[in-house]
Amino acid sequence: MQPPGAPYNINWHVHRAEEERTALNYLDQPGAPVVLWGPDKFGKTWMSQFLTDMVYQADGGACRVVAINLDTFDYESRSDYGNFIREFAFQIVGSIGGPEDWVPTLWKSPGSVNQKLGRLMRDNVLPLASTRVILALDRVDAVWGLPFKDDWFGMLRAWAEDPRLEKLRLVLGISTTPRRLIERTTQSPFNLSPPIVLGDLTRDQVETLSHLYGLEWTHQDYTELMSLVGGHPYLVRLAMHRANLAGGLSARELLAEPSNLFDDFLQRYARRLHLHPEMMAGVKRLRSDSLAELDSDTSAALESSGIAVEEKVGFYRLRYRLYERLRP
């Protein structure tokens, strides 16, 4: 029985048919990055892995996949652009199982770090695939706020538009709203194709998930759970996993009993809020059943984390009734 937060498993994947079709269509052609946008724990990593699996099957195993999470880059790698690009190069080579001397050899050649990385892709990586190379980058917005972000985003856009890299396909996972990441429209990879929004699971998708967990829930069970946590993919899985372990509890029984079911999840958010007083101040202003105006920086942080949702321009509410517990 798969616990929430477990690694991707196709048997536990709940399909988002429209989003999947759109993404796979982008991946059929060069120059159209797949930008997966959704709050934390909304399934961007799973969707990326599903898409790369589908491409691998469609290409008969002839494609290559390079999957990198930018959150794994350490402090030194983020200290300057040269270190960042060199680490990125090492991770690309490591992901495809290339020889360790590719990067040191290329780094002895003339040119900028972008040029060296471009040669790595053209001369070493892309020839490994007879069809496509999928570069799946998770937490791309981890670069946001670093002094070289424009160089990095500009390089990704240049790759998408470079005819010499026609085998390359980009899958970019972000939590920050795309419009906030686009400061220079001609240097951003996020406006070459419309972002694919991964939002709440629908009622039908929640019901599909409940069947995977072997639950026989009623209409009222789904209503009670979703009135508290909406269609949050992680929280819904968390509740259903607990219900299964408890012998198939109904949602009404699960939510009625004294429980620490959501405590760990809320405590992680609470710690983050206390580290960012401006976010806490924003949460204090919001409720789940009414709207409040927020400044752009606060709203972006709360929207990216999934705590707030914009109902009309500039006006927000808490995304779920559960998040009322975050208010002091």
Predicted local confidence at residue 100, as pLDDT: 84
Predicted local confidence at residue 145, as pLDDT: 79
Predicted local confidence at residue 189, as pLDDT: 83
CATH of 17-197, one of 3.40.190.10, 1.10.3720.10, 3.40.50.150, 3.40.50.300: 3.40.50.300
Q: How do the domains of the chain map onto residue ranges?
A: 17-197, 203-256, 267-326
CB neighbourhood size of 197 (10 A): 14
Predicted local confidence at residue 175, as pLDDT: 86
Q: For the packed helices 203-212 and 219-229, what is the interaxial angle rounded to 10 degrees?
A: 110
Predicted local confidence at residue 186, as pLDDT: 67
Predicted local confidence at residue 150, as pLDDT: 86
Predicted local confidence at residue 315, as pLDDT: 92
Beta partners for residue 316, in sequence order: 292, 310
Q: For the chain, which residues score pLDDT lower than 70?
A: 178-186, 258
CB neighbourhood size of 227 (10 A): 14
CA 304 to chain centroid: 10
The type of residue at 328 is P
